[in-house]
Amino acid sequence: MTTLPESTETKLGLVIDLDTCVGCHACVVSCKEWNTSNYGAPLSDIDPYGAEPEGTFLNRVHSYEAMPETGCSQTVHFPKSCLHCEDAPCVTVCPTGASYKREEDGIVLVNEADCMGCGLCAWACPYGARELDMLSGVMKKCTLCVDRIYNENIPEEDRVPSCVRTCPAGARHFGDLGDPESDVSKLVAERGGMDLMPEQGTKPVNKYLPPRLKDRPSEAALEPRHEDPSGLFAWLDKALEKI
Amino acid sequence: MAISEDKAPARPSPKVSDEVRKTTCYMCACRCGIDVHMQGGQVKYIEGNKDHPVNKGVLCAKGSAGIMQHYSPARLRAPMKRTGPRGSGQFEEISWDEAYDIAESWLRPIRESAPEKLAFFTGRDQSQSFTGFWAQAFGTPNYAAHGGFCSVNMAAAGIYTMGGAFWEFGQPDWERTKMFMIFGVAEDHDSNPIKMGIGRLKERGARIVGVNPVRSGYNAVADDWVGITPGTDGLFIMAMIHELLKAGQIDLDYLTRYTNAGFLVNCAESGPNKGLFLRSEEGKAQVIDRATGKPADYDAPGVKPKLTGHIRVAGETYRPAFELLAETYMSDAYAPEAVAERCGIPAARIRALAADLARVAFEEEIVLERPWTDWKGERHETMTGRPVSFHAMRGISAHSNGFQTCRALHVLQILLGSVEVPGGFRFKPPYPKPPEAHPKPHAGAQPGQPLDGPHLGYPMGPEHLLLDEDGNPKRIDKAYSWENPFSAHGMMHMVISNAHAGDPYKIDTLFMYMANMAWNSTMNTSSVIDMLTDTDENGDYVIPHFIYSDAYSSETVAYADLILPDTTYLERHDCISLLDRPICEAEAAADAIRWPVVEPDRDVKGFQSALCDLGARLGLPGFVNEDGSQKYADYADYIVNHERRAGVGPLAGWRGEDGESEGRGAPNPKQLERYIENGGFWMSHIPEEAQFMKPWNQHYQDWAVKIGLFDAPAPYVFNLYLEPLAKMQLAAEGHGAQQPPEHLRARIAETMTPLPQWYAPFEQEAFADEDYPLHALTQRPMHMYHSWGSQNAWLRQITGVNKLFIPGKLWEEQGFEEGDWAYVTSPHGRIKAPVARMDGVNEKTIWTWNAIGKKRGAWALEEDAQEATQGFLLNHLINELLPPKGDGLRWANSDPVTGQAAWFDLRVRIEKAPQGGPSEPALDAQESPVGTGPKTVAYGEEF
């Protein structure tokens, strides 16, 4: 059993805009690419060229289709990675102390040297956001690119998680959700940002901006002023004189 | 519990890489700028280049998966010659010298006797101005890239109508548009710019309307989804035009100034001038001048054309084109009620969308305080914008009525006054460029001589067709023949079929680059495989020689006799040239390079460099010096030193001996170094007063001349009415020296209307709805680019199996359940595929992801790879020919105007199949000349 910090003043996290996410998987692959050769063990791929390739990803996009009672089908693209919960059950369940939540910024990390790959944390996480790497035998999860966001070898404007930097539609935002004046907190307030599965009591830091209502076609119609071409031509001659 | 000391430091700041090398992505055709991080000589990380005009720092899934592409186990290692039968995959690796000897032994005799016996087609080539130059020097008329099976309808309709099209030709005014409509947009085209644009529109609260039979990707996030029935987009668009005309909601000032709405059209019932414009003796089209009521040159300063009325000249009546347009679209045939059922869109919805377009265009107009001077010398203090914009791609293009549908969309844009104005659609240099300013097609082949001009271009009438004395097509693909007169990108999908049939003639050598023609890049895959392996009575292959260049062990490699192994995109030089398909923005001209950020570790060579070598061996003009020695050591040498016109070469940046010139200037030996220093690209901004109204803006025209896009200002007006089509119709009626064959007269008259009209797609008309009640489509996933993407170790984990998506209603009617398989039958064949339910799809349409299915043994995948056992291709169901009509002729399943492959006309029926795979047809495996990939990958371990 590992303890959580009582609270963290800084709460770094992601705000993901489900209205804008087109489901392109850019964040998924950029995350894999950065994290496989940076923090901790590589994100390995088993059977990458065979029948059932299966690798470790820290971020995946699922698409869900729903058919409302009236109107047409709605599809939401739903990117999912660790939500860096304030009450993170993956930390408290960890028998070795490998899983921990940082007091300084709230990031939930795994200290791979202490991880024995027991998988309890993945079982405890209600979001399925952790993946045991089959090759290295250690638990992998989103680090919020902890090795990017403070990295003085990276230009200041790029000190954001790789998924945020790469997102073509601008659907991913990074910042301090503990600061009500931060851009991300304001965005959450403006757009009604939501917790994922709040009933789990995990108090996730990451927020999702809900899709706007769609498919409300107007009932407008143009007034037909000219039923046949000759009417149009007569109007047009007059209208042209005014130009 | 105690926490170990191995925790990450509070603020970790590791070194990212040894070095960043900036080049251009090639994981698809979008040409984004990338920063390639190198460590220990290896590629560690690829991210978007923030300074780059195309992607401004972002990068899609394909781009980020570039590492797996670069290190793919499917990479070819050396030139190879076939040792087993075609299709076996049995090869022997050979030296480049031997490979060139073999190629030369086939090509030299052809060039000396009959250069047309070489068919050279280059697929998804981004060096077409170079490969075309090589083919022209060789002297074969048979050259094109992949546009004919991609989106030539979109490109040609755009050029003919308004001097430019979507994607690399232009873009919406993302910062100002308020309503954006997309039609049939494949999710991979202009991939990052469209996603960035959609994000920007969402941020600004602009409205997005998606018109597509399938609601995925962009259509899923659109504010409104219009789930149209495939092949009916033209009807829908014309019904909106009907509404706008009836309400008088059109931009009259724009139409009179910038279009041929006022051009006088001969309205005789028949005769040699029917449908043609009234022209002055100098050939200038005439309008009725409102001031005098008399005919006048359309472009004379001060002339304001009438859009109505008539005039009689030499006993014949002429009326402004606009009157004909109004009569066409105001007819009841295009009323919303008349088209609703066929389109699968309620009439009220069509009316509402037309009303929304009109409201945004006219009630929410934008006025920029930006003075400019037009082509007639008139000064304007402001620029008026109509903030509605459009984008369309293969969905409306890949039908046999696609050209006219794409034209109709442009007519709609023009009637709304929303092209090249603030908030509307904007051209990117070198566009705008009207059809007249493009070359005409050439096919004059002579033994031992170069071709008499460039292969591809824009015909303006029957006189520009490529026909021999007997009226037969000069090209193997029959491009620019009466069957498809305006086939501006050639017809790659017909090459193998026609070569096999010897129609119009037999060839000796097929030479292809970067097109998986034996698999996902062809219609009728199974039959194409048969054609490539078919032998004559002597046991020789019917298509005697096949040279193929590819970087990877694709399906097509197995069917070739000689393989020239290409490099990966990180190992090569390329230029993304203004002579070709550059990376310009609406406010800037730009071009870019690729350069070897990693040197190849195999005996491979960039295909273009191989062509430099081969061109020199064959002594082709332009590839040898006067003394016969090789002119260009490699492609990089060509990029720097070739001049297409004096001072104008493949790259526009840092020209001149001192490297200080833009656009025009002598070759600069340090040019590539300057590009590399600048991040791999060059960009020059268009002056502010020249950024809109480009076709008519004096400032823009002068800037374009200065920078070398044209040699003299070339202002023009948009073609609502397309006179070259009227000329084709006249020929069909028996007028003129060039006459179509009898069997095509009726079709030409019906389909080549100078104002776009809708007709039912050919294949759909050929069969009863009861027999084949469903439409079947493919789309590319956003994270893949045909078979390149679906072999990638990371991307294939995202989509490794393509399901056939079935609309909910049909799913229930047929009693499908999760995990089921279905047979899909077209008039041409049957496949077996796994199915899944989807509700966001037009109820008469089934669809799947394109190019996931793979042949066993290809791409260094194991034989039981899911792409081979469960993945499938719809291509097997699509014939490149229409069903026989009993006349013994081979009718291409293509657009009758441009020859675009009509992939999306496919009609099918489905039924439940026994559960479980494999998907069918389950073809025999090919041997892999490169083995299979490793059992595990842990990329990055070494860093």
Report chain A residues whose CB lies below 8 A from the CB of B856: none
Contact B524, B878 (CB under 8 A): yes
Contacts of B769 (CB under 8 A, 6+ apart): none
How close, in Å, is residue B336 to chain A by CA atoms?
A: 11
Q: How confident is the model at residue B2 (pLDDT cuts 50, 70, 90)?
A: very low
How close, in Å, is residue A97 to chain B by CA atoms?
A: 6
pLDDT of res. B185: 87
> CB–CB of A222 and B65 under 8 A?
no
Report chain B residues whose CB lies below 8 A from the CB of A114: 3-4, 6
Residues forming beta bridges with residue A66, ordered by sequence position: A74
**Which residue of chain B comes nearest to A67, CA vs CA?**
B839
Contact B267, B364 (CB under 8 A): no
CB-nearest to A225 from B247, B351, B800 is B247
How close, in Å, is residue A199 to chain B by CA atoms?
A: 28
**Which residue of chain A comes nearest to B796, CA vs CA?**
A53
CA within 13 Å, CB half, B349: 20
A68-103 pLDDT tens trace? 998 899 999 999 999 999 999 999 999 999 999 999
CB-nearest to B46 from A33, A36, A143 is A33
The three-class DSSP label of residue B799 is coil
Distance between CA atoms of residues B286 and B314, nearest Å: 14
Q: How confident is the model at residue A1 (pLDDT cuts 50, 70, 90)?
A: low
How close, in Å, is residue B681 to chain A by CA atoms?
A: 20
Instruction: At B316, list the tokens.
Output: 């014949």
How close, in Å, is residue B324 to chain A by CA atoms?
A: 9
Q: Which region among A7-21, A229-243, B254-268 has the lowest average model confidence (pLDDT)?
A: A229-243
How close, in Å, is residue B179 to chain A by CA atoms?
A: 13
B757-797 pLDDT tens trace? 999 999 877 888 899 999 999 999 999 998 889 999 999 99
Report chain A residues whose CB lies below 8 A from the CB of B865: 49-51
Mean pLDDT of chain B: 96
Question: What is the separation of C-alpha B393 from the centre of its chain, rounded to a whole number of angstroms?
Answer: 8
B287-329 pLDDT tens trace? 999 999 999 999 999 999 999 999 999 999 999 999 999 999 9
User: In chain B, where are the structural domains located?
Assistant: 17-59, 763-913
How close, in Å, is residue A130 to chain B by CA atoms?
A: 17
Report chain A residues whose CB lies below 8 A from the CB of B199: 20, 168-171
Report chain A residues whose CB lies below 8 A from the CB of B932: 49-50
Assigned CATH topology for domain A12-209: Alpha-Beta Plaits (3.30.70)
H/E stretch holding B738: none
CB-nearest to A29 from B64, B330, B940 is B64
B139-157 pLDDT tens trace? 999 999 988 888 999 999 9
CA within 13 Å, CB half, B310: 14
- From residue A173, how far is each of A163, B8, B193, B817 by CA, in Å? 9, 24, 19, 39
Report chain A residues whose CB lies below 8 A from the CB of B845: none
How close, in Å, is residue A148 to chain B by CA atoms?
A: 7
CB-CB neighbours of B931 under 10 Å: 11
Q: In chain B, what is the straight-line distance between the N-terminal and C-terminal CA atoms, in Å?
A: 31
Report chain A residues whose CB lies below 8 A from the CB of B348: 219, 221
> CB–CB of B67 and A33 under 8 A?
yes
CB-nearest to B256 from A23, A33, A240 is A240
CB-nearest to B4 from A113, A166, A233 is A113
Instruction: Inform me whether the pLDDT recorded for B189 exceeds 80.
Output: no
A115-157 pLDDT tens trace? 999 999 999 999 999 999 999 999 999 999 999 999 999 999 9
Burial degree of B918 (CB within 10 A; 0-12, 13-18, 19+): middle
> CB–CB of B782 and A24 under 8 A?
yes
Distance between CA atoms of residues A79 and A203, nearest Å: 18
CB-CB neighbours of B479 under 10 Å: 34
Report chain B residues whose CB lies below 8 A from the CB of A150: 10-13
DSSP B877: G
Instruction: Inform me whether the pLDDT recorded for B675 exceeds 50.
Output: yes
> CB–CB of B290 and A154 under 8 A?
no
B522-578 pLDDT tens trace? 999 999 999 999 999 999 999 999 999 999 999 999 999 999 999 999 999 999 999
Instruction: At B204, list the tokens.
Output: 């600004």
pLDDT of res. B190: 82
How close, in Å, is residue A93 to chain B by CA atoms?
A: 12
> CB–CB of A49 and B326 under 8 A?
no
Q: How confident is the model at residue B188 (pLDDT cuts 50, 70, 90)?
A: low
Distance between CA atoms of residues B351 and A59, nearest Å: 43
> CB–CB of A22 and B221 under 8 A?
yes
CB-nearest to B840 from A75, A102, A147 is A75
Q: What is the mean pLDDT of residues B13-21?
A: 96
User: In chain A, where are the structural domains located?
Assistant: 12-209
CB pairs under 8 A between A and B: 331
Distance between CA atoms of residues B677 and A217, nearest Å: 51
Report chain B residues whose CB lies below 8 A from the CB of A5: none
> CB–CB of A26 and B64 under 8 A?
yes
Phi-psi region of B753 (alpha: psi -120 to 50; beta: other; left: phi over 0): beta
How close, in Å, is residue A215 to chain B by CA atoms?
A: 5
Q: Are strands A172-176 and B383-385 parallel, antiparallel or unpaired?
A: unpaired
Radius of gyration of the CA atoms of chain B, in A: 27
Report chain A residues whose CB lies below 8 A from the CB of B70: none
How close, in Å, is residue B620 to chain A by CA atoms?
A: 43
> CB–CB of A214 and B247 under 8 A?
no
Contact B493, B145 (CB under 8 A): no
Q: How confident is the model at residue A242 (pLDDT cuts 50, 70, 90)?
A: confident
pLDDT of res. B3: 45
CB-nearest to B797 from A19, A55, A158 is A55
Contact B289, B262 (CB under 8 A): no
pLDDT of res. B1: 39
Distance between CA atoms of residues B669 and B648, nearest Å: 14
Contact A16, A206 (CB under 8 A): yes
H/E stretch holding B803: none
CB-nearest to A153 from B10, B16, B354 is B16
A16-65 pLDDT tens trace? 999 999 999 999 999 999 999 999 999 999 999 999 999 999 999 999 99
What burial letters (b/e) apply to A46-80, b meaning 16+ CB within 10 Å? bbbbbbebebbbbbbbeeebeeeeeeebbbbbbbb
How close, in Å, is residue A88 to chain B by CA atoms?
A: 16
Superfamily of domain B17-59: ADC-like domains (2.20.25.90)
Residue B720 φ then ψ, to 5°: -65, -45
**Which residue of chain B comes nearest to A143, CA vs CA?**
B8
Give percent above pLDDT 70 in chain B.
Answer: 99
Contact B566, B557 (CB under 8 A): no
**Which residue of chain A comes nearest to B780, CA vs CA?**
A24
CB-nearest to A166 from B4, B59, B223 is B59
Report chain A residues whose CB lies below 8 A from the CB of B225: 72, 214-215
Report chain A residues whose CB lies below 8 A from the CB of B798: 25, 28-29
CB-nearest to A219 from B55, B352, B796 is B352
**Which residue of chain B comes nearest to A43, CA vs CA?**
B938
Instruction: At B228, list the tokens.
Output: 């149209």
The three-class DSSP label of residue B675 is helix
A181-210 pLDDT tens trace? 999 999 999 999 999 999 999 999 999 999
Instruction: Inform me whether the pLDDT recorded for B4 exceeds 90.
Output: no
> CB–CB of B196 and A232 under 8 A?
no
Residue A159 φ then ψ, to 5°: -80, 65
pLDDT of res. A243: 77
Distance between CA atoms of residues B480 and B899, nearest Å: 9
DSSP B673: H
Report chain A residues whose CB lies below 8 A from the CB of B323: 229, 233
State the best of A19, A30, A173 to mutate against chain B, taking most chain B CBs within 10 Å.
A30
B796-825 pLDDT tens trace? 999 999 999 999 999 999 999 999 999 999
> CB–CB of B348 and A219 under 8 A?
yes
> CB–CB of B782 and A25 under 8 A?
yes
Distance between CA atoms of residues B615 and B621, nearest Å: 8
Contact B927, B857 (CB under 8 A): yes
Instruction: Inform me whether the pLDDT recorded for B5 exceeds 60.
Output: no
Q: What is the pTM of this model?
A: 0.97
Instruction: Kindly indicate whether the domain formed by B763-913 is annotated with CATH number 3.40.640.10.
Output: no
